[in-house]
Amino acid sequence: MNTEQKPEAQKHYNISKEYSVESALRRYIRLTVGENASLFSLIWHELLLGFCLYIPGLPGLAIRNLLYTICFPHFHRKAYVGRQVTLRCPRQICLDSGVIIDDEVQLIATSRHPHAISINKDSFLRSHVMINAGSPEGFVSIGERTGIGQGTILYGNGGLRIGNDVLIAGHCFIVASSHAYEQTYMPINQQGYTAQGITIGNNVWIGAGVTILDGISIGDNVIIGANSVVNKSVEANSTVAGSPARQIKRTT
């Protein structure tokens, strides 16, 4: 992964305006199955997930593994999905060999990006992780052998790239977007949002409860202390901590 890569220029979106004319049913189909999906694919999706979602234990793992691999084009036959895992727009989710998704994770791939969520070889997500690719064109890509701790929330609106051998502890908040707020005559919730993207390099350890703001780049071999708020990019081979995060050590 090229961690020197600068986040793309800031984009501005106003989703509520863009989709203001769609019906409630069309919106439900778009959010659940995909932008151009039919009513038939919604019914098929709900029957399949309704059947698979709650089966416990090993039989559940085996049945989901079999049916999801048949129905979703980018699920590897050696990827395992736990019980009550929410899958929105699963045809845009790529799970590589050895990926483990623990119980009650949410994978929301509602985006125009064809591979809105991609999780590479031998990576794992602990329970209650929430990944939202982010409308209209966001994505989250997770490298190989990367682990995400319980309750961590990742949004990919401007693009969130996470490298190989990354450890993200529980209850982190990494969101590649921000609310637009400059127009003081208008409520913030009507101003849309801005998105630049976040890049996290290889061999990074992110401590518990860390928040990383949009537009940030984290280099390779970085440690981020527990409960830090990262509002500036972090150079490779360093340890940062605090709110706002400041360098406390260099490893080379």
Instruction: Collect all residues with Cβ–Cβ distance below 8 Å to 187 and sequence separation of at least 6.
Output: none
Question: Could you give the CA distance from residue 209 to residue 89 in angstroms, rounded to a whole number?
Answer: 28
Nearer to ligand COA, 174 or 223 (CB): 223
Please state, in angstroms and as integers, the Cα–Cα distance from residue 146 to each residue in 1, 163, 169, 241, following that order: 14, 8, 11, 21
CB closer to ligand COA out of 13 and 124: 124
- The answer to the question of residue 242 lying near ligand COA (CB under 6 A) is yes
Would you say 162 or 195 has its CB closer to ligand COA?
A: 162
Place of tokens 């707020």: 181
Q: Examine residue 174 and tell whether it contacts ligand COA (CB under 6 A).
A: no
Contact set for ligand COA, span 32-61 (CB under 6 A): none
Pairwise CA distance, residues 168 & 143, whole Å: 12
Pairwise CA distance, residues 101 & 104, whole Å = 9
Stretch 178-217: interaction string toward ligand COA, x if CB under 6 A: -----------------------------xx---------
Q: Which is nearer to ligand COA, 47 or 226 (CB)?
A: 226
Burial 131-140 (b: 16+ CB within 10 A, else e): bbbbbebbbb
223 makes contact with ligand COA (CB under 6 A): yes
Return d(Cα 23, Cα 27) in angstroms, integer.
6
- Binding part of the chain for ligand COA, among 10-18, 24-32, 67-75, 234-242 by CB under 6 A, reads 234-242
Using rule CB under 6 A, residue 100 touches ligand COA: no
Q: Which is nearer to ligand COA, 131 or 166 (CB)?
A: 166
Q: Which stretches of the chain bind ligand COA, using CB under 6 A?
A: 169, 207-208, 223, 225-228, 239, 241-242, 248-249
